[in-house]
Amino acid sequence: MADVLRSVQPIRNWMGTEVIVNRSGLSIGVIRFVAAGVDTNLYNEMLLFVHEGQVAMGAFNCMESDREEWLTVAENTVQSLHIVPFPSDSSFEKGVGSR
Question: Could you tell me where the DSSP H helices lie in 1-99?
Answer: 2-8, 67-80
Query: Domain spanning 2-75: which CATH class is it, in words?
Result: alpha beta
Rounded CA separation 79/67 (Å):
18
pLDDT higher than threshold 70 for residue 7: no
Q: Bigger pLDDT: 14 or 27?
A: 27
Rg of the chain taking only CA atoms, in angstroms: 16
Rounded CA separation 38/29 (Å):
27
- Tens-digit pLDDT profile for residues 21-53: 999 999 999 999 998 888 999 999 999 999 888
Are the C-beta atoms of 35 and 15 separated by less than 8 Å?
no
- Tens-digit pLDDT profile for residues 65-74: 999 999 999 9
Range 3-19 average pLDDT: 78
Domain ranges of the chain: 2-75
Are the C-beta atoms of 55 and 27 separated by less than 8 Å?
no
Rounded CA separation 80/20 (Å):
13
Banded model confidence at residue 12, pLDDT cuts 50, 70, 90: confident
User: What's the pLDDT score for residue 6?
Assistant: 67
